[in-house]
Amino acid sequence: MYKIDLPVTRCLPGMVTAEPVIDLTTGLTIVGAEQILTDTIIQKLYKFNYNKICVYVGPWNNIWNVAPEVIEKYEGHRKELKVILDHLTVTKVLDIKALKEIAERMQLDFNQNYTILACINMIRLADEYIYTHSINVALLSMLMGKWMECNEEMIEELILLALVHDVGQERIPEKVLNGADGFACDDYNQMTKYIRYGYEVLGEIRHNKMEHPVVSQKLQNIINIADIYDAMTAHRIYRKNQSPFEVLELLQNGVFGQLDPEILMTFINNIANYYVGTFVVLSTGEVGEVVFVHPHCVYRPIVRVGDIYIDLHVQHHIKILQIA
């Protein structure tokens, strides 16, 4: 957890004070350290004319104020998908009906973009990676489908395919999946191929060969990008997670091979704006707030540290290490 001086106007219920707030006139403690902020406490701070207080930053639900029931729905979808994929592994039969029900509910439950990104960044279960990753890729693909102005039928198809895109990973060599040294570029290109392998696996399941959706190149390209983004921002045994800004830079610089340029730039330009207001750890050791994203260079935003504004597009020697 990181500490930062935050304007009272930016404080939200649920945040935790890192230091006591003292009345400078009487010397009395107004709010103690390690105190969970409530609406009442925040209003109290306004009355004492406090501009800033020291709070812990980090939890995404404190930044985007995600309701507990949203997290519960996410967990519910993950558990349901686990049952479907485990059943597929054992029986080689994909329950298309159950999968469609999840896809339909996901569209209803996650109709706000901020909610989707908050869940993706908040919930990272190492022991349930495949199922969490599949849900995340489906949600990101749904977002991209909206940004690409796909119709409802295509978006539902995107979600369905993304939910099962990992079923082909059994064809990827184990040394690539679990390599202790991370991925070489060629390894990652091989990893992205398992989306196509996944479609082949589905096609090999004769019981359902006429029931699963037809795969188009556009849908595959969308899922490719969503898959890379979520995989690289997730912490794995063989490597630390990378910050969203670093992954966006790698994507734009073509590190992961040839990706559809129109879809890629639509994704990069849209998703970066949702990180405005988040707190980041800089290579200087400072913690600051992302306040502006450059349209021409989204992965080098302007970060406010205290009263100082640091333009990372100008100060190239400073980098974002991670989301705080």
For residue range 300-318, what is the model confidence (pLDDT) as tens digits? 999 999 889 999 999 999 9
Domain hosting 289: range is 276-323
Q: Are residues 196 and 310 in the same domain?
A: no
Q: Are residues 52 and 70 in the same domain?
A: no
Q: Are residues 83 and 42 in the same domain?
A: no
pLDDT single digits (tens) 286-299? 989 899 999 999 99
More confident residue, 31 or 115: 31
Q: Are residues 74 and 200 in the same domain?
A: yes
Q: Domain for residue 90, yes or no? A: yes
Q: Are residues 15 and 99 in the same domain?
A: no
Q: Are residues 23 and 118 in the same domain?
A: no
What are 123's two structure tokens? Answer: 């919930």
Q: What pLDDT does residue 48 have?
A: 82
Q: Are residues 233 and 293 in the same domain?
A: no
Q: Are 55 and 45 in contact (CB under 8 A)?
A: no
| Neighbour count for residue 168 (Cβ, 10 Å) | 18
Give the DSSP letter string of 81-150.
Answer: HHHHHHHHHHHS---HHHHHHHHHHHHHH--SHHHHHHHHHH---GGGHHHHHHHHHHHHHHHHHHHTT-
Q: Are 114 and 274 in contact (CB under 8 A)?
A: yes
Q: Is the pLDDT of residue 230 over 60?
A: yes
In the chain, the amino acid numbered 309 is: Y
Q: Are residues 73 and 35 in the same domain?
A: no
What are 96's two structure tokens? Answer: 């298309």
Q: Domain for residue 147, yes or no? A: yes
pLDDT single digits (tens) 159-209? 988 998 877 555 455 454 444 444 444 545 555 555 555 555 555 433 443
Q: Are residues 49 and 126 in the same domain?
A: no
Q: Are 199 and 240 in contact (CB under 8 A)?
A: no
Q: How far apart are the first and last CA of the chain?
A: 7
Q: Domain for residue 253, yes or no? A: no
The lowest-confidence range among 35-44, 66-75, 296-305 is: 66-75
Q: Domain for residue 31, yes or no? A: yes
Whole-angstrom Cα distance, residue 185 to residue 85? 29
Q: Domain for residue 183, yes or no? A: yes
Q: Are residues 237 and 214 in the same domain?
A: yes
Q: Domain for residue 264, yes or no? A: no
Most confident segment among 49-58, 72-81, 228-237: 72-81
Q: Domain for residue 23, yes or no? A: yes
Q: Are residues 198 and 292 in the same domain?
A: no
CA 288 vs. chain centroid, Å, equals: 19
Q: Are residues 52 and 100 in the same domain?
A: no
Q: Domain for residue 260, yes or no? A: no
Q: How many domains does the chain have?
A: 3
CATH of the domain at 18: 3.90.105.10
